[in-house]
Structure formats: structure tokens, C-alpha cells
């Protein structure tokens, strides 16, 4: 099988307020792969996700990122999104007054304009919304509400996956999509994610716990600790971590 | 000290103007107006034009706008154009009964007073004073207190014309009444108009007021509007302010509500120079409910100052105030919201919110809630914020492919949405939503609906 390289992260370093969080990350992601990134609190998991999406509160102090062969750093967040990067937020933002419909239509048309495609017609757009809502088992009323306003924790996370389904990204980065979810909500979200797996896209699933990986089975597991990937392996690494805890990695690293 | 003496000169000038023209004023007006002139003038001599030494006016320099040289006339000036050729309301499908006011005077392109199906009477205030003196005596200057505010006193001393709306008992009309206040003059001009809206028991009315300027001159308007909402009556009152940025406007409205009445007073400010909006509401009958709302979008050196006073005089009334502002460039704004709950006004519910977004470091906003509560069984709340657009929300939108410019616009639009959503005249709401969107995009100049296309700098 020919592996097509999608994302290359080389010796990435990033800081916030002068404090270095990422201290030299290396990661290669190919089409069709699901990578899980695990690690204790404060290890830099969410920072990595935010830097990939282009959040400017973090300063990249070193290294390179290539996405589909193009340098990613210096690209505005919206250009990254239009090129096919999607960030599923750990804490989705509530935006009162902006309806889901208006939000998604604007997003899709900006993406299409960037790809030199004509605007989607209103009827095609509504059909797309309908199809994806059905796929994600999303309540119909949700679409007429303001973005995340008054949504429960589970609804917010499901709404992230719904947006991912609408935008069909090449690379989805899911930042602790499982946090704050009970087991039923977790299953629903995971089923949604699995429906979006394709041979020509890829996912980076960031999680603190192994349990999400029972439902979204990764091809690779990486352990992040103190801003570095300290260990990589297949899905069995997640079980090993679950069994031995993060202290095991920390201790091993110190040796 | 110089400002004080300027004000002194100004007050004297306006007083002289009155006494020099008193005979002409009286001979051309009805007794309803004339009978109050001496007392109003006496009050003006005491109060004068309010300056910043007064707590209620400390955010806005009112004497300054009076001191700029403006032409003042007692009688109506001839307009050399057919206004209907210059002005057409471009709200599609807005089917309204129209009253046109030019420089504060009823524009006679239709009968001075019209009786509409259902008995509603609309038209000229001056004509109403002639034809219905008893009705006017019942309401004229009963709600506007010229003894407390120099601007109201000045308006009352000179009152001649304006708009008159009478909705008799039980009458109702889904068709909105639209008042278009046009400013159009070959020279800089001072304008005063006096308006009265009477909605009797069980009657319903929707009123849309649009303030426009059709020439690029400096205007100063000092208007007073009295609104009576009778028992169980409903009134929706929407005011759109869209004058050129050389025009200054002081607009004072008094809303008097009786038992179980329901009123919405909503002001949308898009363009204008210095604007002061006073809205005094008195809840005078049990079970009355009021919403006083405002949305102002300002840039350049615009200044908008909103003052509200809601007087809960009796028990079991509800009032909700919500004012929202977006200030760009060097724009400045102020909001003062006073709620008075009198000792007998138990079970009052009174709420007030003022939220503002500053888009630049130079824009300034001051906001001041004033709650005076003398009853003990009430629900009252107030909240005020001055902030920037939410950076997390901007990034969230960007992360979905939306440009930073579009993201900011979406958030600003969303911010104003709450106020726009309260507009119950559908075509007006849609049109205003569109105007607000254009205004936020910087695509709206007040010229774009005017066929003159003069090359003014708005």
C-alpha cells in the first residue's frame, strides 16, 4: 500500500507568555490513518491542537509543519480550515445570535470560494444539513438555534462532529472530544466519528483516557509528556498506559 | 468660565428670539399651544439649555450644538423641491399610512388630517389643535414636563407643528403608521417639532418613525413626543435615526401607560452627528408592561447619548430595558438608565441591560445604571458591560474557514440581533437587519437611498 503523506511536524516548539510548552514535537500522519495522542494534564496536547489550527496566542519558537506538502506556519487559521484542517474544540464556544444554519452556510461557502467552486444553492445546502444531521443523529431543532448557545456538554461535542461532517476535512484534530461525556454520549460521538473515517482523510484524536479508543480505534498511539512525544506504538500502548498510569512513562523517561 | 458665559449668551438669545416673535407665534397657533407658552418660557429662563454641570447631561455637550450658527425661523419655510421626488422609502413591501414632516412641519402632499378606516386620525399636530382642541387639551403637555428640562421647555414655548396620531377606543390597524422626518434645506437649520400619539383603551397601533436628512447641511433638531397608551392598549413604536453626520438631534419622548397596557419603544441609530435620546416612561396603571430598547452603531466622531427613566408609579408593572452599542473609530457614547420604584409599587419587575462593544482603543463609552427602589417586594436587576469582541468566538469561526473580517461582522451582527428581533413589523425588521448589516460593513452611507447623490462627506 502506498502511503500518501499528509502532515509532517518537525521539531515543533511553541510557547505562551514566554513559557515553552512544546519542546520539539515530531509526527508524521498519512492518509487513512488515525493517530491518538495521549498524555497527562499539562503535557501540551491541547497546545499542539491549537498550534495546528493556527491559534495566535501561542508563539511558534521553532520547527516546521507541512500539510499536503505546503508549509502551514504563517497560514491564517481560516486558510488552514479551507485547506482541510478541522479542529474539534475541547470547549466549543457559545455564540448567541449566530444561527447554526447561517454559521455553516458561511463556512461552507467560504471553503468553496477558496477552492474556486460556486456557492452552494440554498436547497443543496439544506439537503446537506439534513443528511449530515441524520448521519450524526442530531436533533433537528439544533440547527435553528444559535451556535452552541444553551447546549449541554454532550450536545456541544456532537455539534463539533456535526460540523466536521458538514465540512469534510482532510485532517480532523479532535481535542479531548470525550471530556465531560458520559458513556452513552461518548458512544454516540465515537459512532459519528467512525462514520467519517475514509481512506483519503486522517484524524488526530487527543485524549486523556484510553476509553475513547475502545470506540475510535487508532492506528498509532503517541504519548506526550512535558512537551515531547516520549513513546509511540500501536493501540496496545493505550492499554499499557491505562494499566500502568502516566507515572510509568514519566519514571521511564527520567531514567 | 467661558463656557458658562457662552451658555448664558445662548439662553438669552433664545429668550430674545421668543419675545421678538411672540406675537407671530401666538397669532399663527391654536390656544392649546399658546396657553402654555408663557409658563414654558418662564421655565426655560430658569433652566436654560442643559449643560454638563447637570448630572443627567454630563456626558454630552448640548450648548455646543446650539452655539454653532444655525438659521432659526418661526414660520414654515417654502421648500423649493417636491419632497416626494427626492424621497421614497425604499423598504419593499412596507405598506404603511405615511405622514411626511419636512423640517418639523407637516408636508401637505395629502390632507392635513386623515380619518382612516376604524376611526384612526393621523396628520398635522397644528391642524389637530384647531379641529380637536378638547382632545388635545386632555393630553397635550400632560406627560412632557417642561418644568424639569430646559429642552422640553424650549420646545413647548415654540411648539407649532409636528405629527398627530389618534387611535380611538377599540380601534386597531395592522397597517403601521409611518412618520418620515425629512430634513431638507438650502442652509443650516434649527428644527423643532412637537408630536402626540394617543392610543385609547383597547386600541392597537404600530408606529414607525424614520429620521432622514436629504441635504448635506448642518441641522439641529429638538423634538418632543408625547405618547399616551390607554388601558389595555398596545403600542409598538420604532424609531430609525439615519441623518447625516453633520446633523445633531435631541429627541425627548414621554410614554405614559395606563392599566394592562403594553408598549415597546425601540430606537435604532445608524447615522447622525451628536444624538441625545431621552425616553421617559411612566407606568401609571397596574399590569402595564414596557420594553424600552436601543441599538446604536457608531463610527468616526459620532456621539450618541441615551437617557431613560422608567417610573414605576403603581404595583404589578413590568419594564425591560435593553440598550446595545457598537462603537468604532473615535466614536463616543453614553447610557444612563434610571428606574424609580415608588413605595406603593409592590410586585414591580424592572430589568435593565446595557452592553457595549468598543472596536478601537479610541472609542469611549460610559454607562450608568441608577436604580431607586422604595418598595420591598420587587424584582429588579441591572447589568452593564463595555468590552471587545470575544477573541475565542472569533477564532472558533476562523477555525471553520470564516475570514477574520467576516467573523467580526457575524459577531457584531449577532450582538445587535436581540434588539432587531423585537421589531414586529416584518418588512421593517428585514430591511433594518439588512441596513444594520450594511452599516457594519461600512457600505451604508445615508446617501444611498437619496436620489440627489450629492458628493457630501458623510
> Where is A102: in which H helix or E strand?
helix A100-114
Interface contact B393-A95, CB threshold 8 A: yes
Interface contact B401-A146, CB threshold 8 A: no
List the single range of A29-38, B97-106, B145-154, B432-441 with lowest mean pLDDT: B432-441
Q: Which residues on chain B are in Cβ contact (under 8 Å) with A101?
A: none
A64 near A10, Cβ under 8 Å?
A: yes
CATH number of the domain residue A211 falls in: 3.40.50.300
pLDDT score, position B90: 66
Interface contact B397-A111, CB threshold 8 A: no
Extended strands (E) in chain A? 5-16, 19-30, 34-38, 59-67, 70-71, 85-88, 95-99, 146-147, 171-175, 202-207, 220-225, 228-233
User: How many other C-beta atoms are found inside a 10 Å radius of the C-beta of residue B306?
Assistant: 25
Alpha helices in B295-425 (DSSP H): 391-398, 404-420
pLDDT score, position A31: 96
Interface contact A95-B398, CB threshold 8 A: no
Indicate the pLDDT class of residue B87, thresholds 50, 70 and 90. low
Residue B396 is nearest to which of A82, A89, A111, comparing CB atoms?
A89
pLDDT score, position B433: 86
Interface contact B414-A81, CB threshold 8 A: no
Interface contact A93-B410, CB threshold 8 A: no
Q: Which residues on chain A are in Cβ contact (under 8 Å) with B413?
A: 97-98
Indicate the pLDDT class of residue B454, thresholds 50, 70 and 90. very low
Q: pLDDT tens-digit profile of B354-404?
A: 999 999 999 999 999 999 999 999 999 999 999 999 999 999 999 999 999
Q: Which residues on chain B are in Cβ contact (under 8 Å) with A151?
A: none
Asked if the model's pLDDT at residue B77 lies above 90, the reply is no
Indicate the pLDDT class of residue A192, thresholds 50, 70 and 90. confident
Query: At which residue does the C-alpha cell 399636530 appear?
Result: B125
Calculate how close chain A gets to B353, using CA atoms only, in Å: 16
pLDDT score, position A72: 96
Contact of A76 with chain B, judged by CB distance below 8 Å, is answered with yes
List the single range of A5-9, A64-68, B92-96, B100-104 with lowest mean pLDDT: B92-96
Overall average pLDDT of the B192-199 stretch: 98
pLDDT score, position B217: 87
Q: pLDDT tens-digit profile of B114-138?
A: 999 889 999 999 999 999 999 999 9
B122 near B166, Cβ under 8 Å?
A: yes
A163 near A147, Cβ under 8 Å?
A: no
Contacts 24+ apart (CB under 8 A), A156-161: A156/A92, A157/A88, A157/A92, A157/A181, A157/A185, A157/A189, A158/A185, A158/A188, A158/A189, A158/A192, A159/A92, A159/A100, A160/A88, A160/A89, A160/A92, A161/A88, A161/A136, A161/A189, A161/A192, A161/A193, A161/A196
A154 near A211, Cβ under 8 Å?
A: no
228-247 in chain A: CB under 8 A from chain B: none
Q: Which residues on chain B are in Cβ contact (under 8 Å) with A146?
A: 414
For residue A17, give Cα distances in angstroms to A46, A56, A59, A156, B78.
16, 12, 8, 29, 67
Interface contact A95-B418, CB threshold 8 A: no
What is the ipTM metric for this complex? 0.96
Strand B248-257 relative to strand B262-271: parallel, antiparallel, unpaired?
A: unpaired
Asked if the model's pLDDT at residue A141 lies above 90, the reply is no
List the single range of B149-158, B361-370, B374-383, B449-458 with lowest mean pLDDT: B449-458
Q: Is B148 left (phi over 0), alpha (psi -120 to 50) or beta?
A: alpha
Contact of A103 with chain B, judged by CB distance below 8 Å, is answered with yes
d(CA B183, CA B212): 6
Interface contact A110-B414, CB threshold 8 A: no
What is the percentage of chain B residues whose pLDDT exceeds 90?
Answer: 77
Number of domains composing chain A: 1
Indicate the pLDDT class of residue B428, thresholds 50, 70 and 90. confident
pLDDT score, position A1: 52
What residue of B is the nearest CA neighbor of A103?
A: B397
Q: Which residues on chain B are in Cβ contact (under 8 Å) with A98?
A: 410-411, 413-414
pLDDT score, position B458: 38
Asked if the model's pLDDT at residue A223 lies above 90, the reply is yes
Extended strands (E) in A50-188? 59-67, 70-71, 85-88, 95-99, 146-147, 171-175
What residue of B is the nearest CA neighbor of A85?
A: B399
Asked if the model's pLDDT at residue B437 lies above 50, the reply is yes
Calculate how close chain B gets to A77, using CA atoms only, in Å: 6
Overall average pLDDT of the A99-116 stretch: 94
Task: Give the max Cα distance, chain B.
Answer: 70
Distance of CA B239 to the CA centre of its chain: 6
d(CA A51, CA A72): 10
Domain limits at A121?
5-254
Indicate the pLDDT class of residue B1, thresholds 50, 70 and 90. very low
pLDDT score, position B453: 43
Q: Which residues on chain A are in Cβ contact (under 8 Å) with B400?
A: 81, 103, 107, 163, 167
Contact of A78 with chain B, judged by CB distance below 8 Å, is answered with yes
User: How much is the pTM?
Assistant: 0.86
Contacts 24+ apart (CB under 8 A), B23-29: B24/B74, B24/B75, B25/B74, B25/B158, B25/B160, B28/B74, B28/B75, B28/B160, B29/B126, B29/B129, B29/B159, B29/B160
Residue B29 DSSP SS3 = coil
pLDDT score, position B181: 93
Q: Which of A84-88, A250-254, B51-55, B238-242 is predicted most confidently?
A: A84-88
> Where is B428: in which H helix or E strand?
helix B426-441
pLDDT score, position A56: 93
A244 versus A69: the higher-pLDDT residue is A69
Amino acid at each position: 500500500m502506498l502511503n500518501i503523506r499528509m502532515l509532517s511536524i518537525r521539531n515543533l516548539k511553541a510557547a505562551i507568555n514566554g513559557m515553552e510548552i512544546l519542546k520539539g514535537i515530531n509526527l508524521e500522519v498519512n492518509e487513512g490513518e488515525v493517530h491518538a495522542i495521549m498524555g497527562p494534564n499539562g503535557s501540551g496536547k491541547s497546545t499542539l491542537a491549537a498550534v495546528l489550527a493556527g491559534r495566535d496566542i501561542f508563539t511558534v519558537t521553532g520547527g516546521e509543519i507541512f500539510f499536503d506538502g505546503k508549509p502551514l506556519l504563517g497560514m491564517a487559521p481560516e486558510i488552514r480550515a479551507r485547506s482541510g484542517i478541522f479542529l474539534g474544540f475541547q470547549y466549543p464556544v457559545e455564540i448567541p445570535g449566530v444561527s447554526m444554519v447561517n454559521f455553516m452556510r458561511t463556512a461552507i461557502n467560504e471553503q468553496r470560494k477558496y477552492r474556486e467552486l460556486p456557492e452552494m444553492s440554498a436547497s443543496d445546502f439544506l439537503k446537506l444539513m439534513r443528511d449530515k444531521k441524520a448521519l450524526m443523529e442530531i436533533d433537528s431543532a439544533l440547527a435553528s438555534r444559535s451556535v452552541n448557545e444553551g447546549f449541554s456538554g454532550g450536545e456541544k461535542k456532537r455539534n463539533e462532529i456535526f460540523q466536521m461532517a458538514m465540512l469534510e476535512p482532510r485532517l480532523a484534530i479532535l481535542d479531548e472530544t470525550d471530556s465531560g461525556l458520559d458513556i452513552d454520549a461518548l458512544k454516540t460521538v465515537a459512532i459519528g466519528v467512525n462514520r467519517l473515517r475514509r481512506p483519503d482523510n486522517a484524524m488526530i484524536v487527543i485524549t486523556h483516557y484510553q476509553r475513547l479508543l475502545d470506540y475510535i480505534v487508532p492506528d498509532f498511539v503517541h504519548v506526550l509528556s512535558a512537551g515531547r512525544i516520549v513513546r509511540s506504538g500501536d493501540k496496545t500502548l493505550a492499554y499499557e498506559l491505562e494499566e500502568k498510569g502516566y507515572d510509568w512513562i514519566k519514571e521511564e523517561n527520567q531514567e | 468660565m467661558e463656557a458658562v458665559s457662552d451658555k448664558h449668551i445662548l439662553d438669552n438669545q433664545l429668550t430674545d428670539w421668543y419675545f421678538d416673535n411672540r406675537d407671530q407665534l401666538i397669532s399663527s397657533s391654536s390656544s392649546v399651544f399658546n396657553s402654555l407658552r408663557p409658563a414654558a418660557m418662564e421655565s426655560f429662563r430658569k433652566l436654560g439649555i442643559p449643560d454638563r454641570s447637570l448630572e443627567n447631561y454630563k456626558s454630552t455637550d448640548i450648548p455646543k450644538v446650539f452655539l454653532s450658527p444655525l438659521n432659526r425661523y418661526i414660520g414654515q419655510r417654502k421648500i423649493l423641491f417636491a419632497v416626494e421626488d427626492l424621497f421614497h422609502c425604499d423598504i419593499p413591501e412596507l405598506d404603511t399610512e405615511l405622514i411626511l414632516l419636512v423640517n418639523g412641519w407637516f408636508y401637505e402632499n395629502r390632507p392635513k388630517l386623515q380619518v382612516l378606516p376604524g376611526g384612526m386620525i393621523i396628520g398635522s399636530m397644528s391642524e389637530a389643535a384647531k379641529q380637536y382642541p378638547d382632545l388635545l387639551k386632555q393630553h397635550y403637555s400632560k406627560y412632557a414636563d417642561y418644568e424639569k428640562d430646559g429642552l422640553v421647555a424650549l420646545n413647548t414655548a415654540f411648539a407649532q407643528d409636528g405629527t398627530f396620531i389618534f387611535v380611538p377606543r377599540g380601534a386597531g390597524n395592522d397597517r403601521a403608521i409611518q412618520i418620515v422626518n425629512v430634513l431638507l434645506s438650502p442652509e443650516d437649520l434649527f428644527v423643532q417639532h412637537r408630536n402626540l400619539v394617543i392610543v385609547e383603551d383597547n386600541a392597537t397601533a404600530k408606529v414607525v418613525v424614520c429620521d432622514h436628512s436629504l441635504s448635506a447641511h448642518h441641522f439641529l433638531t429638538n423634538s418632543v413626543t408625547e405618547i399616551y397608551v390607554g388601558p389595555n392598549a398596545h403600542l409598538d413604536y420604532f424609531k430609525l435615526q439615519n441623518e447625516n453626520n453633520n446633523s445633531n438631534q435631541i429627541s425627548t419622548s414621554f410614554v405614559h401607560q395606563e392599566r394592562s397596557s403594553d408598549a415597546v419603544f425601540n430606537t435604532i441609530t445608524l447615522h447622525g452627528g451628536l444624538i441625545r435620546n431621552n425616553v421617559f416612561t411612566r407606568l401609571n396603571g397596574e399590569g402595564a408592561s414596557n420594553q424600552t430598547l436601543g441599538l446604536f452603531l457608531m463610527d468616526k466622531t459620532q456621539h450618541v447619548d441615551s437617557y431613560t427613566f422608567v417610573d414605576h408609579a403603581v404595583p404589578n408593572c413590568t419594564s425591560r430595558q435593553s440598550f446595545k452599542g457598537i462603537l468604532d473609530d473615535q466614536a463616543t457614547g453614553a447610557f444612563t438608565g434610571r428606574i424609580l420604584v415608588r413605595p406603593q409599587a409592590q410586585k414591580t419587575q424592572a430589568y435593565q441591560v446595557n452592553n457595549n462593544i468598543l472596536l478601537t482603543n479610541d472609542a469611549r463609552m460610559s454607562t450608568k445604571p441608577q436604580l431607586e427602589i422604595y418598595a420591598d417586594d420587587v424584582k429588579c436587576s441591572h447589568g452593564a458591560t463595555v468590552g471587545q469582541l470575544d477573541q475565542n468566538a472569533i477564532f472558533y469561526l476562523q477555525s471553520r474557514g470564516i475570514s477574520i473580517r467576516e467573523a467580526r461582522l457575524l459577531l457584531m451582527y449577532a450582538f445587535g440581533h436581540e434588539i432587531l428581533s423585537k421589531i414586529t413589523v416584518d418588512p421593517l425588521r428585514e430591511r433594518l437587519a439588512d441596513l444594520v448589516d450594511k452599516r457594519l460593513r461600512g457600505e451604508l452611507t445615508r446617501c444611498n437611498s437619496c436620489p440627489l447623490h450629492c458628493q457630501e462627506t458623510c
